[in-house]
Amino acid sequence: MPAYKQIIPELTQWNNGTGIDIDSWIRCVGRFDHAIGYGRILWPDFVIHDDCVLFAPVPIANFDAWMTQTGRCRNSVETVMNHRHILDLFSGEDSYVSREMVICLGRLLKDMWGCKLRRDFPDRGIIVSFPEDYKDDLLDYEITFYHNENRISPCGAANTCR
């Protein structure tokens, strides 16, 4: 469990500086429309397209371009089409964002996407990847998912293009 008061400094400013717990804070400042919007990020829709598991809806032109560029390496296509930069999820954010915040959200997304992918595609062996190693630029923190299996290439040989 993260130390929310360290990650969300506003918690300590409530009640004339005595602070507030995260659950009470959300009840005070949270909005239903935002919660529904966040739900789309935290628990997204996925589909199978050309034997790839991808975010829905699939931008077909992008998919076709990546399939051509990667020589039909489905794992590589999944990796690139499913990746998200953590900072890009909230481009309108104008307050301070710390490394701890980015890592906390990345871990949460990894857990939630992993649960949903296992629920939706129990026999697919999907890996959700969120490397936490130190990065100078917070924009470099990204999450993605892809199949954990060797694919068969169009010529019938094992495709170890990852």
Q: Mind listing the pLDDT tens digit for each residue in 60-97?
A: 999 999 999 999 999 999 999 999 999 999 877 667 88
Q: Which helix (H) or strand (E) holds 112?
A: helix 99-120
* pLDDT tens readout for residues 90-145: 877 667 889 999 999 999 999 999 999 999 999 999 999 999 999 999 999 999 99
All structural domains of the chain with their residue ranges:
44-159
Write the burial class of residue 14 (CB in 10 Å: 0-12 exposed, 13-18 middle, 19+ buried).
middle
